[in-house]
Amino acid sequence: MDTKGRTKDTVNARLDIQEICRRPALHLVQDGRGRISKPRAPYTLNKQQNLELLQWVKDLKLPDGYASNLKRCVNMHEGKFFGMKSHDCHVFFQRLLPWAFKALPKEMWSILTNFSVFFREICASELNVEKLRLLEASMPITQCKLEKVFPPSFFDSMEHLPVHLAYEARVGGPQQYRWMYPFERFLRTLKQKIKNPTHVEGSIAEAYLVEEAAKFSSYYHPPEMMSRWRRVPRNDAGDTRDQKSIFNYPGRVVGKHWKSTLDGRDKQVAEWYILNNCEEVAPYLK
């Protein structure tokens, strides 16, 4: 996206290309007045394509809980992303990258797509050992293709890391049991408990004890009293909160409200169904 202050496609990077690479299309251009200009690289989006990408992410709808609200990470005025957390980048890289940069030339888009598929496979809940071996063998080739497109300044230890990730997944197992997201979330929870910066450990310990006491005492509250651990879910489906298991099926009413009176036969059938399908009544039937 060639974001100012974040891109590695700088003037010094173009000088490196001019010195050690054979890419005349990326060389710096000097006009008659001695001013140096940097031609737009084929691996960057123009201004219109940037705005289309940002608008697409802003209008994107993801499943609830799949990622944070990516719309808040879009700055249409400055034409860039900001404030994306590590998990947001994880989702963007695995699921959105091929669609986000489809405006790039095919040879560059295919390289980014290979990276997206690679990380999607090694982060799957179920791993195929043979597929991991193929990914391990193909990643150095993908890296070589990447080096033919991007400037040398783009590459550091992080760009070399994917070469080893397929082997690590094959030896260590699924990523869900080894990545840092749960620990990062827990550290954020602990940081929120710090009210006295001079006594960090004491603040966390005191807040933890208060939280445990409040949670323990909530078990003695009546069922109809809402607390932090009994609050209405964020996406309330309108289901009943009766304690009997047979009345706890989720759902909501549809259509116009109307009343009906059961006759003797229908009432008997309804009572029979409830008594034979309610878990609380099962011990008495035995």
Q: How far apart are CA 50 and CA 4, in angstroms?
A: 13
Judge whether 52 and 66 are in contact, CB under 8 Å: no
- Name the domain boundary from 147, 177, 207: 177
Let me know if residue 207 belongs to a domain. yes
Region at 34 (left for phi over 0; alpha for psi -120 to 50; beta for the rest): left
Asked if the model's pLDDT at residue 233 lies above 70, the reply is: no
Confidence (pLDDT) at 36: 80
Q: 82 and 116: one domain?
A: yes
Asked if the model's pLDDT at residue 61 lies above 80, the reply is: yes
Residue 53 DSSP code? H
Q: 167 and 197: one domain?
A: no
Asked if the model's pLDDT at residue 29 lies above 60, the reply is: yes
Confidence (pLDDT) at 131: 92
Let me know if residue 3 belongs to a domain. no
Which residue reads 């989720």 in tokens?
A: 250
The proportion of the chain whose per-residue pLDDT surpasses 70, expressed as a percent, equals 91
Let me know if residue 234 belongs to a domain. no
How long is the chain? 286
Q: 93 and 204: one domain?
A: no
Closest CA to 273 of 247, 243, 238: 247
Let me know if residue 5 belongs to a domain. no
Q: 167 and 202: one domain?
A: no
Q: How far apart are CA 99 and CA 77, in angstroms?
A: 22
Cα–Cα distances in angstroms (integers) from residue 220 to residues 57, 200, 216, 228, 243, in the given order: 46, 32, 8, 14, 16
Q: 57 and 172: one domain?
A: yes
Q: 51 and 168: one domain?
A: yes
SS3 234: coil
Closest CA to 124 of 135, 113, 137: 135
Q: 213 and 99: one domain?
A: no
Asked if the model's pLDDT at residue 96 lies above 70, the reply is: yes
Asked if the model's pLDDT at residue 44 lies above 70, the reply is: yes
Let me know if residue 256 belongs to a domain. no
Residue 87 identity (one-letter amino acid): H
pLDDT band at 82 (very low <50, low <70, confident <90, very high): confident
Q: Provide the H-helix boundaries in 156-199.
A: 157-160, 162-172, 181-192
Let me know if residue 154 belongs to a domain. yes
Confidence (pLDDT) at 12: 82
Q: 168 and 76: one domain?
A: yes
Judge whether 149 and 107 are in contact, CB under 8 Å: yes
Confidence (pLDDT) at 236: 60
Q: 118 and 201: one domain?
A: no
Confidence (pLDDT) at 135: 92
Let me know if residue 69 belongs to a domain. yes
Residue 96 DSSP code? I
Least confident of 96-110, 133-147, 250-264, 266-280: 250-264
Q: 50 and 173: one domain?
A: yes
Confidence (pLDDT) at 107: 86
Judge whether 15 and 28 are in contact, CB under 8 Å: yes
pLDDT digits (tens, 9 = 90+) for 181-191: 888 888 888 99
Confidence (pLDDT) at 253: 64
Q: What's the start-to-end Cα distance of the chain, in Å?
A: 69
Confidence (pLDDT) at 275: 82
Q: 149 and 199: one domain?
A: no
Let me know if residue 35 belongs to a domain. no
C-alpha R_g of the chain: 29
Confidence (pLDDT) at 27: 83
Confidence (pLDDT) at 137: 93
Asked if the model's pLDDT at residue 252 lies above 70, the reply is: no
pLDDT band at 21 (very low <50, low <70, confident <90, very high): confident
Asked if the model's pLDDT at residue 237 lies above 60, the reply is: no
Q: Which residue has the higher pLDDT, 145 or 285?
A: 145
Mention every residue, 6+ apart, whose C-beta is less than 8 A from residue 239: 248, 249, 250, 251, 252
Taking all residues of the chain, what is their mean pLDDT, rounded to a whole number? 83
Q: How many domains does the chain have?
A: 2
Q: How far apart are CA 121 and CA 115, in angstroms?
A: 10
Residue 32 DSSP code? T
Asked if the model's pLDDT at residue 70 lies above 60, the reply is: yes
DSSP string for 193-232 = T---TT-HHHHHHHHHHHHHHHHHHHTTS-TTS--TTTPP
Q: How far apart are CA 51 and CA 104, in angstroms?
A: 14
Confidence (pLDDT) at 116: 92
Asked if the model's pLDDT at residue 231 lies above 80, the reply is: no
Confidence (pLDDT) at 134: 94
Q: 83 and 165: one domain?
A: yes
pLDDT digits (tens, 9 = 90+) for 101-137: 888 888 888 989 999 999 999 998 889 999 999 999 9
Which residue range(s) make up the domain with 86?
45-177
